Amino acid sequence: MFKYYSTQMNTQHSNQQTRYKKLYPTHVPTSVLKKVAIAAGSSVISLVDPERGDMVAALGETTGKAALVKMLKQMKCSEEGRFILKERPIIDETIEGSKFSYDYLQRLPADTLGGAYYKFMSSHGFLASGRTPVKFVDDEELAYVMTRYRQVHDFFHVLSDLPTSVAGELGVKWLELTQTGLPMTALSGTFGMLNNRLTNKQRIEIITKLIPWALRCGKTCRPLMTVYFEKYMHEPIDEVRNKLLFEKAPVIN
């Protein structure tokens, strides 16, 4: 009897160790209960202060497993997506020889994807390496999918030609919702409409122009998670849009 209970306890301890094993360098293993607490806390803080990127990131990680699984399947069903999963490129301007270094990008013509990306990033002082690292996704492959999603976010802006204003970010969030299904994008896209920096005219334009565009574009264009953007940096941005069946966003005043 003692031997049986001892074996059971050892098995449970082993399962616990496996469950809370660190799966990648930035991983923070957490229990289901703790994830619920993180999701609840981060959702409240994200609504109060949408610019808290760390809280938005935590919310996305603790509520997005089903969406990440769907995105992974999309990538595996695409030849280009499979290459991304195999090679696992990282969008980081600090990596030597990177196609995202400002030294490389600023030499590209302004009408290329890389040139447009450089203009967008440099004009706002953004760095690709500045994205919040993934912590709470308990699967190493899904963690990479989340990392990739964060790193290609800026390409949603570049392709759509949407600014980083409140209205622009809302348009991108609705596009991301249509493409990825991440709950965090639904929350941001919905409650972001309450932002006091928006005028009533802008709210009307977002509802009548920007959201319909995002739903339409998100459904008709190629899944952007399957796009190996690094391979297209030297190509004219309009040609890239045509290849991806990507429609530019309407202008919002």
Residues 195-239: tens digit of each pLDDT: 889 999 999 999 999 999 999 999 999 999 999 999 999 999 999
Asked if the structure places residue 1 within a domain, the reply is no
pLDDT category, 3, cuts 50, 70, 90?
Answer: low
- Note the pLDDT of residue 1: 52
- Note the pLDDT of residue 182: 95
Asked if the structure places residue 252 within a domain, the reply is no
Residues 197 and 170: beta-carbon distance below 8 Å = no
Residue for token pair 């899944």: 223
Q: Which residues contact 71 (CB under 8 A, 6 or more apart)?
A: 145, 149, 180, 223, 225
Is 140 among the annotated ligand-binding positions? Answer: no
Q: Comparing C-alpha atoms, which of 153, 189, 163 is closest to residue 47?
A: 189
- Note the pLDDT of residue 216: 98
In this structure, the number of other CB atoms found within 10 A of the CB of residue 196 comes to: 6
Longest dimension (CA), the chain: 76
Whether 6 shows a pLDDT value over 90: the answer reads no
Using CA of residue 234, residue 240, residue 244, residue 250, what is the dihedral sign?
positive
Number of domains in the chain: 1
What CA–CA distance (Å, rounded) separates 7 from 27? 30
Is 157 among the annotated ligand-binding positions? Answer: yes
Q: For the chain, what is the mean pLDDT?
A: 89
Whether 141 shows a pLDDT value over 90: the answer reads yes
- Note the pLDDT of residue 44: 81
Is 154 among the annotated ligand-binding positions? Answer: yes
Is 139 among the annotated ligand-binding positions? Answer: no
What CA–CA distance (Å, rounded) separates 58 from 42? 6
Asked if the structure places residue 83 within a domain, the reply is yes
Asked if the structure places residue 96 within a domain, the reply is yes
Averaged pLDDT for residues 119-134: 92
Averaged pLDDT for residues 144-169: 96
Averaged pLDDT for residues 116-141: 94
Asked if the structure places residue 165 within a domain, the reply is yes
Helix, strand, coil percentages for the chain (3-state, nearest 5):
65, 0, 30
- Note the pLDDT of residue 248: 97
- Predicted TM-score of the model (pTM): 0.88
Whether 113 shows a pLDDT value over 50: the answer reads yes
Encode pLDDT of 27-66 as tens digits.
999 999 998 998 888 888 876 776 677 888 888 889 999 9
pLDDT category, 14, cuts 50, 70, 90?
Answer: very low
Asked if the structure places residue 75 within a domain, the reply is yes
pLDDT category, 2, cuts 50, 70, 90?
Answer: very low
Asked if the structure places residue 86 within a domain, the reply is yes
User: Please, is 6 exposed, middle or buried when counting C-beta atoms within 10 Å of its C-beta (0-12, 13-18, 19+)?
Assistant: exposed
**122: domain range?**
23-244
Asked if the structure places residue 7 within a domain, the reply is no
